Amino acid sequence: MNKHEVVTSKAYRLIAPGKFVETTLQHEVKQEQVVVKPTLASICHADLRYYTGKRKRNVLKEKLPMALFHEGIGHVVISNADSVPPGQRVVIVPNIPGRLLNNNSGKSRLPQSTLRNNVADNYAADSVFLGSGYDGIGQSHLVLPAENAVPVPDSIPDGIAVLTELSSVSLHAIHHVSAFLKEGKVAVFGDGPVGFLTAAMLYHVFRIPKSQLLVFGAVREKLAQFDFATTHLVQDYHFHRQQNVATVIECTGGVFSESAINQAIDLIAPQGKIVLLGVSEERVPINTRDVLAKGLTLIGSSRSTVSDFKALMQDFQNQAYQQTIEKLLPDQYDYIRNVNDLHNTMDRASKNKGWKKIIMNFDW
Mean pLDDT of the region 57-62? 92
pLDDT at 254: 83
Report domain 5-94+130-163+329-362's class: alpha beta
Percent of the chain with pLDDT over 90: 85
Mean pLDDT of the region 62-82? 97
Residue 261 in contact with residue 290, Cβ under 8 Å? no
Short-list 354, 306, 311, 362, CA closest to 333: 362
pLDDT tens for each residue of 226-273: 999 999 999 989 998 888 999 999 999 888 899 999 999 999 999 999
CA distance 312 to 168: 7
Please, how many CA atoms are within 13 Å of residue 29, restricted to the half-sphere of its CB?
Answer: 22
Of the pLDDT bands very low, low, confident and very high (cuts 50, 70, 90), residue 111 is: very low
Of the pLDDT bands very low, low, confident and very high (cuts 50, 70, 90), residue 103 is: low
pLDDT at 109: 47
Of the pLDDT bands very low, low, confident and very high (cuts 50, 70, 90), residue 113 is: very low
Mean pLDDT of the region 20-26? 97
Question: Where are the chain's structural domains?
Answer: 5-94+130-163+329-362, 169-300
pLDDT at 217 over 70: yes
CA distance 22 to 138: 10
Architecture in CATH of 169-300: 3-Layer(aba) Sandwich (3.40)
**Phi, psi angle pair for 196, to nearest 5°:** -65, -45
pLDDT at 104 over 90: no
Mean pLDDT of the region 123-135? 93
Short-list 319, 334, 353, 345, CA closest to 222: 353
pLDDT tens for each residue of 176-201: 999 999 999 999 999 999 999 999 99
pLDDT at 119: 87
CA distance 244 to 139: 48
pLDDT at 3 over 70: no
| Per-chain mean pLDDT for the chain | 93
Any residues with CB less than 8 A from the CB of 288 and at least 6 apart, and which? none
pLDDT tens for each residue of 133-147: 999 999 999 999 999
Q: Between β-strands 71-79 and 245-250, what pairing exists: parallel, antiparallel or unpaired?
A: unpaired
| Secondary structure letter of residue 264 according to DSSP | H
